[in-house]
Structure formats: structure tokens, C-alpha cells
Amino acid sequence: MDWPGDAGRDRLIGDWHIFQRWGGHRTSTDDLITAWYAIHRNPVAPARYLDLGCGVGSVLLMVSHKLRPKIAVGVEAQAQSVAMARRAIAELPEHACQIDVRHADFRDLSFGGERYELITGSPPYFPLGAGVLPDDAQRRACRFEERGGVEAYVETASRALGERARLYVVFQTRWSERVMAAAVEHDLHLSGRADFSTRADKPGPFLTVFELSRQPTGALHRVHCSVRDAGGRISREYQRIRRELGVAGAASPSLSPRRDS
């Protein structure tokens, strides 16, 4: 595929950069909070890390930058996104870890004997028909469930998770029951959740990052954060999360979650 003419190079984390299109899908709050919660809950570098539907590589790169797994793999179905993710990886410093992006629909992968200690995913969360479909194919596939939704992510992850591994998947909180039903179907257990509100004065969370494990755990790990305070400013708690992740001061992901318009 030809390199998109509207693709630009932006600093993502540390001295690592990302390529994304001004007219296409751009990394956002969803990606940042998924990467942060996975890192927050896994301080020890995993041997093998997998990011499903990695897009242009935002979650894959943020997690890999902080945890430095021995092997990191992203899987992405859109050729345009694969090209941009691979270019970002090709430009990484020499001391970076081993990162690979596979061009495939992850639903078709068997994984063979491959098992991963950490898996992340940032699925589209609008069913087809739930809004106006963007004309841009990249934006459309990242927002609408053209290749399946969170259920496909959980099912695929269940085939690749190691026995003590964890899956981190972000989804709209109002549809939490879909995540939990998929987890039950594939014998996974909720071991943690991080709930994010758009503003401190808005009722209830909008986005949740779910931590799913093969093994049942004791007390459920809980986090709640408002991205903005009641005055519309970036909240102190969200600033702390950005600092912990390491994106403070960078041209970091947008504060706007994905929308259906």
C-alpha cells in the first residue's frame, strides 16, 4: 500500500515516535489508559507481550517502552495501519526491545503453541448501525465493529494467554455486561478494573479497562479517575497517571475518547 499522504510523525513516549494520519484514526484516551493500567499492574517485564488490533502501534509501543518485554507482537488487519506501525518500529533506538507487527485478522490466527504473559486490546465499541459511519476506512474500522467487537478480542486472547497471564481490554462502561459475558464464556475471571469519567462532575464512568485472568483472585483491584476536573481542566489524578506512564510533556494522546461521529 502507498504511504498515506496525510501521515505525520508525533512523539509518543520518551524518544519513541508514532505515525498517524490527520484525517484518520488517531491515538486517544482509550489507548493511554489501557497501556497505563497494564503497566501499573505488571511492574515486571513479561517475556512475551501481545497487542490485539494494534492499529498504528500506540498501546504496543507505550507498553513496550515501559516494560521492555523480551518479545512484543502486534496484530493488525488494516494494511495502512500496519505500514505506519512498522515504520515507527523501524525508527526505534537500537537499544529497544524486539517488536513485530503481523498483518492479519487476529480472529484467523491459531497461535499454535505461542502463549503470552500479557495481552492488551482497544476494541472498537460501536455496533454497526449505532451511528454515522465515517467515510475514512481506517477511522471506521477503529470505531465500529466491522470485524467483531470485544467478544472477538476476549475469545482470541483466551487462546493465547498463559496460565498466569492477564488481559487488559478497554470498553465503554455502559456495555460492561458484554465484557463479562465474554469472560465467562471463555473461563476468564475479572481481577481488576480501572474506571474513567470524562469529568469529575459527570455521573458515572465512561470508559473501563478490564483486567481478566485465567486464575480467580481474591479482592478485586479497583481504580477510579476523572480525566478532567469539574472546571474542565486535566485532573491531578490524570496528570499523575500520565507522569507514571511517562507521556507528560510529550505530544501525547488526545484527551478525547473515540466517538461515533
7-245: CATH architecture: 3-Layer(aba) Sandwich (3.40)
Instruction: Give the sheet arrangement for strand 207-213, strand by strand.
Output: 98-103, 71-76, 48-52, 116-121, 161-172, 207-213, 189-199, 221-228
Whether residue 57 contacts residue 83, with contact meaning beta carbons closer than 8 Å, is answered with no
| pLDDT for the residue numbered 251 | 40
The pTM assigned to this predicted structure is 0.91
Query: DSSP H helical segments within 29-122, as ranges?
Result: 29-41, 58-67, 79-90
Beta strands in 53-201 (DSSP E): 71-76, 98-103, 116-121, 161-172, 189-199
Whether residue 210 contacts residue 195, with contact meaning beta carbons closer than 8 Å, is answered with no
Query: Which SS3 state, helix, strand or coil, does residue 60 take?
Result: helix
d(CA 74, CA 53): 7
Collect all residues with Cβ–Cβ distance below 8 Å to 187 and sequence separation of at least 6: 158, 214
| pLDDT for the residue numbered 145 | 67
Whether residue 125 contacts residue 151, with contact meaning beta carbons closer than 8 Å, is answered with no
Work out the angle between the directed axes of helices 79-90 and 58-67 (0-180°, nearest 10). Answer: 30
Residue ranges for the chain with pLDDT beneath 70: 1-5, 128-131, 134, 136-142, 144-145, 248-261
Q: Say how many Å lie between the first and final Cα of the chain, rounded.
A: 27
